[in-house]
Amino acid sequence: MTERPEKRPRTGARPGPGPGPATVRRRRLRGLATVALFILPALVLYGLLVLAPIAIAAYTSMFRWNGLGGWPEDFVGLDNFTRLFDSDVFHGDLRNGLIIIVLSLLVQLPFALGLALLLNRRMRGRAVYRLLFFAPYVLSEVITGVLFSLILSPESGLANQLLRAVGLEELERAWLADPSTVLPALFAVMTWKYFGFYMILFLAGRQGIPAELGEAAAIDGATAWEQFRHVTLPLLGPTIRIAAFLSIIGTVQLFDLVWVLTGGGPDHASETLAVTMFQFGFKRTQVGYASAISVVMFLLSMIFALAYLRFVMRRDTQGAVTTMGDHR
């Protein structure tokens, strides 16, 4: 009995017919259904926790309503917004927010950047210093507010006691009760609370810059300042812009620290939009007017965020993609 030779597959054999259009369509629908199933819970939560409150605030801002007794019925149209834009308190809130933003961009962020560059150098105890400087950010705003309300107390506060101890009694102030000092004192507390966060942000950005760039600049004869100005600072640009974005958005929404420290006083000298909204919404039960304030806060934040996305983030993203593509 002779054995049959094994059949070897022909190398030039044509592949079998692929799946038909109906099969491809079913697979595509199955993939879309899987994606929708995973996205649906997030969309539901986003709608309930973000879109629905925005819609409710925009709706109630058109009514004179105290927040009780069911849905509002006293429709006033845009009267709440007209009243808001004519209010001196609202103008003061915008002015206070603008002052804090300018001080943050000119004082708080440069201070955090300088500290980050210092702690990026090799030095003994560097990790301990980083931990100590970041620790205030971990504290809650309420704890920070209570702590500094004791430190800045007019009589027994630590700040005035230190001034008396060094013979500077003439500099003693009622820091949180004087309209001329309450905003600088508030900004000092904010700087103490938040500079550690920006320091870590800048430190992470600085460590992402290759050391070879600085070494090459030093070989070319660049001084330390020239290396910072022409190498480090441009490469830290996206990080600096993100920090500025977070600082501005945080100032628009600033509430808890101000409320615990000053309650917006004295005489609205430290009041912000969020504090005014809380005052009218929960203290005076003018929920419709408070909703108008919240709508203005939302529009300010959204306009700035869209402008940042359009003119800043897109450019940074395109630059990053171009840089990665050039190294391929």
Q: Which residues of 219-256 are buried (b: 16+ CB within 10 A; e: fewer)?
A: eeebeeeebeeebbeeebebbbebbbbbbbeebbebbb
**What is the CATH code of the structural domain delimited by 88-284?**
1.10.3720.10
Interval 54-78: pLDDT, tens: 999 999 999 999 888 778 888 998 9
Q: Return d(Cα 255, Cα 264) in angstroms, integer.
A: 9
Interval 193-247: pLDDT, tens: 999 999 999 999 999 888 888 889 888 888 888 888 988 999 999 999 999 999 9
Task: Confirm if 257 and 189 have CB atoms less than 8 A apart.
Answer: yes
> What pTM does this model have?
0.83
Residue spans of the domains in the chain: they are 88-284
Per-residue tokens: 7: 């059949």
